[in-house]
Amino acid sequence: MKKLTFAYESQSDLRILNTGHGWKVEAPQSGSRLEGGPLGEDIYQLEQFHCHWGETSAEGSEHTVDGRAYAGELHLVHWNTTKYQSFAEAAQHPDGLAVLGVFFDVGNESNDEIEKIVSTLSEIKFKGQFTDIPDVIDPTTFLPSGLGYWTYLGSLTTPPCNECVIWIVYKEPITVTEEQLVQFRCLSACSGEAEEFIVKNYRPPQPLGNRALRECNA
């Protein structure tokens, strides 16, 4: 496969939302582009990013490697702007979306970019709340140093689970702290006073079936 190439811009004025299933950062009309690798000749534009976690650090990722789960997984969701006019249209086609997955390992040093997200979570405790992220976010800082990845054709892991995703999962995890994951788990799934914490929001891996998995050791 050709090398995966990023043209990621630092993003300011990003909005973070509590979806009731977790947090997501919207980057509409972002100038951040992804191409190459398994993406053929098309250009994919960053639409949003979010992440998945578990109630303990023994679980939380939506992919496992030889059966091993990681403490969480960041997803950078892109859509094919070469072929389709909107995200919604792209989500109806097998080559519509490209989602970059980055595993979280728990370690001692907190991830500064994730800290910019964590510092806003107290303002979006309840479902439906949103706030602006004051800092500038550079999505490339979420990526591990080693850019080897696995890729396969799969689906959204959230309803409607359209089979429209070219998954690109990095082999090397990034490090976050237990405290950062604890903050994720303090988000509430409800909009009202009732507090039902989003302690886990990952979908367990599904059978690979006859899907072909390819890898690139960048």
Ligand X SMILES: NS(=O)(=O)c1c(F)c(F)c(S(=O)(=O)CCO)c(N[C@H]2CCc3ccccc32)c1F
Q: Applying CB under 5 A, which residues contact Zn ion? A: 75
- Side-chain half-sphere exposure of 216, counting CA atoms within 13 A: 19
Cβ atoms of 124 and 18 within 8 Å: the answer is: yes
Out of 47, 98, 113, 216, which residue is the one contacting ligand X (CB under 6 A)? Answer: 47
Cβ atoms of 2 and 214 within 8 Å: the answer is: no
176 is an interface residue for ligand X by CB under 6 A: no
Picked from ligand X, Zn ion, none, the partner binding residue 61 (CB below 5 to 8 A depending on kind) is none
Specify whether 21 is catalytic.
Answer: yes
Picked from ligand X, Zn ion, none, the partner binding residue 81 (CB below 5 to 8 A depending on kind) is none
- The region of 6-14, 44-52, 130-138, 210-218 touching ligand X under the rule CB under 6 A is 44-52
Q: Which residues contact 35 (CB under 8 A, 6 or more apart)?
A: 4, 5, 7, 41, 42, 43, 44
Cβ of residue 117: shortest distance to ligand X, in angstroms?
Answer: 13
Out of 11, 18, 120, 157, which residue is the one contacting ligand X (CB under 6 A)? Answer: 157
Where are the alpha helices (H) located in 99-194, listed in sequence order?
112-118, 178-184
Which one-letter DSSP state was computed for residue 149? E
- Where in 98-127 is the site for ligand X (CB under 6 A)? 99
Out of 1, 9, 15, 19, which residue is the one contacting ligand X (CB under 6 A)? Answer: 19
Q: Which residues contact 113 (CB under 8 A, 6 or more apart)?
A: 137, 138, 141, 142
80 is an interface residue for ligand X by CB under 6 A: no
Cβ of residue 7: shortest distance to ligand X, in angstroms?
Answer: 20
Handedness of CA 81, 84, 89, 92 (dihedral sign): negative
> In the complex with ligand X, which residue's Cβ is closer, 109 or 131?
131
77 is an interface residue for ligand X by CB under 6 A: yes
Q: Name the 3-class secondary structure at 125.
A: coil
Given the rule CB under 6 A, which residues bind ligand X? 19, 21, 24, 47-48, 50, 75, 77, 87, 99, 156-158
Enzyme catalytic residues: 21
